[in-house]
Amino acid sequence: MIPSRLLILLALLLTTPLLLGGVEDVFSDRLPGLGALDLSGRTVADIALLLNVVLVIVAGVDVLISGSPDDIEVDREISEVLSVGTPNPSKILLRNKSRRPLKVLVHDDPGPLIETERMPQEVDLQPWKEAEVTYTVAPLKRGAAKLQAVHLRFPTVLGLWTRHQIRPLETAVRIYPDIRAVYRYELMASRNRLAEIGVRVMRMPGQGREFERLREYRYGDEIRQIDWKATSRQRQLITREFNVERNQNIVLMVDCGRFMRNETDGISYLDRALNSAIMLSYIALGQGDNVSLMAFSNRIERFIRPVRGKPGIQTILRSTYDIQASTKTADYSLALEYLSKVQRKRALVILITFVTDELQLRVIGESLQLRSLPYLPMCVLLQDVGLKEMADRIPDSDVEAFHTSAAAQILTGQAQEVATMRENGVLMVDTPPDLLTERLINEYLTIKMRNLM
């Protein structure tokens, strides 16, 4: 219970005459003129003392006649699964079990890993009525978390006190990567607006190997797809259409080493890699492919065996939401050695990583080339945004010139290693972190269209 500003102000006003009366008693003997000026000082002090007693009584009565925080039932409604970095809807339900209306200030305490928006809020609770407070929570980090408590605060009837209570209300939640991107993709696809999110629209039918049907010629069809016998019978151009290859294997290898702790715009490289991997998994599962995922650092952190169909995305989400970046350097040879034991069939192997120099790239290239299994390897490199900005900067001093030169030299070495890996048959995607998802999806769709798997 906290005294209100009104109570503090009244207490100060009524206590001041008592303090002044005490000062007069001390100095009246030394300053005779002060006693001559005071005609009714004791009377004022006595009245002030009486009013202080009355104020104490009234303040006590105010507590007795006012409602208690225990008269308020509190519950929280929120999904067990939240998306990191995005607003997630939540709701606080309140019920007044007293006979008095209450004006309650509500604040949810979600803990250190989650931020709230539209909090705190004030709500009028009528007697024996219910009310709800809607707001959003934005998790800052993936993993398991608990929303801790709800803070309740309301004034007493006379406004002399503020009742305050921290109501324990633990709610366990799982914070997943940004799965809302999946729903945005689905929405854009249904409206033929994928280009707005950077995904190239590719016409997949007609590029597979298994014959599906004959249809009328459309502008853009290749000449080799025309069925000339059917064309002569129908007296119009007829095109052969083939099924897109399905049931192919996709393996996503996500680097969880210490370099993936780097951030751009407050989002770690690992979070960006996982978000993109989940998005690609959803699309590949929709194409009828099998998807497996490996997370590794200096050890195998997680391996998800192949899943099929769009419901398989839930398996991937449940298995990856709590993966965190290690403090150790990633061991690419170990990861590929493990993969060679668990994945012996033909597969598109996509490695998403971030490296700081050409030596690490050389290790990756050698690891991918040493594999004799039927893999189509793809290496997705996240660019070092800060290093690129440093290399592009016009130096203003000798020190800055040295930094710019060193950054340019590192980038040149990386570019040479990337070219070498391409020559050795490794598909390469070198992308800024914020464009990772769209670049990865477009590369996958291109591979499917060209039947490279």
In angstroms, what CA-CA distances link 205 with 54, 211, 213? 88, 10, 10
Structure confidence at residue 190 (pLDDT): 46
Q: Sign (positive/negative) of CA torsion 178, 180, 183, 189?
A: negative
Euclidean distance between CA atoms 214 and 226, whole angstroms: 9
Structure confidence at residue 423 (pLDDT): 87
Pairing of strands 210-216, 347-353: unpaired
Euclidean distance between CA atoms 77 and 91, whole angstroms: 5
Give the fold, CATH level 3, of 249-450. Answer: Rossmann fold (3.40.50)
Strands of the sheet containing 130-139, edge to edge, are 72-78, 88-96, 130-139, 114-117
Euclidean distance between CA atoms 404 and 277, whole angstroms: 33
Is residue 56 within 8 Å of 49, Cβ to Cβ?
no
Euclidean distance between CA atoms 25 and 46, whole angstroms: 14
Q: At what angle do helices 436-450 and 269-286 cross, to 10 degrees?
A: 30
Euclidean distance between CA atoms 135 and 162, whole angstroms: 24
pTM to 2 decimals?
A: 0.70
In 3D space, the residue among 374, 351, 346, 373 whose CA is nearest the CA of residue 364 turns out to be 351
Structure confidence at residue 354 (pLDDT): 92
Euclidean distance between CA atoms 286 and 194, whole angstroms: 15
Euclidean distance between CA atoms 280 and 380, whole angstroms: 13
Structure confidence at residue 264 (pLDDT): 84
Euclidean distance between CA atoms 75 and 452, whole angstroms: 54
Structure confidence at residue 135 (pLDDT): 93
- The token pair at 37 is 């000026």
- Span 69-176: which CATH code? 2.60.40.10
Structure confidence at residue 23 (pLDDT): 45
Structure confidence at residue 304 (pLDDT): 93
In 3D space, the residue among 382, 371, 153, 158 whose CA is nearest the CA of residue 263 turns out to be 382
Within 10 Å of residue 15's Cβ, how many Cβ atoms?
Answer: 15
From first to last of the 453 residues of the chain, give the pLDDT tens digit: 788 788 788 888 877 776 666 544 444 454 455 444 444 555 777 777 788 788 788 888 877 877 787 888 999 999 888 888 788 999 999 999 888 888 889 999 887 778 888 888 898 988 898 999 999 998 888 888 888 899 998 888 887 888 888 989 888 998 888 766 666 665 555 444 455 555 555 554 445 555 567 778 877 677 777 888 888 888 888 887 766 667 789 999 999 999 999 888 878 899 889 988 998 998 889 888 999 999 999 999 999 999 998 888 889 988 988 899 999 999 998 999 899 899 888 899 999 999 887 888 888 888 877 556 788 899 999 988 877 778 778 878 878 788 888 888 888 888 888 888 888 888 999 999 888 988 898 888 888 877 776
Q: At what angle do helices 398-423 and 385-392 cross, to 10 degrees?
A: 120
Domain residue spans of the chain: 2-65, 69-176, 205-243, 249-450
Q: For residue 297, give the amino acid letter.
A: S
In angstroms, what CA-CA distances link 390 with 230, 356, 394, 402? 61, 14, 9, 10
- The token pair at 174 is 């799982």
Structure confidence at residue 348 (pLDDT): 92
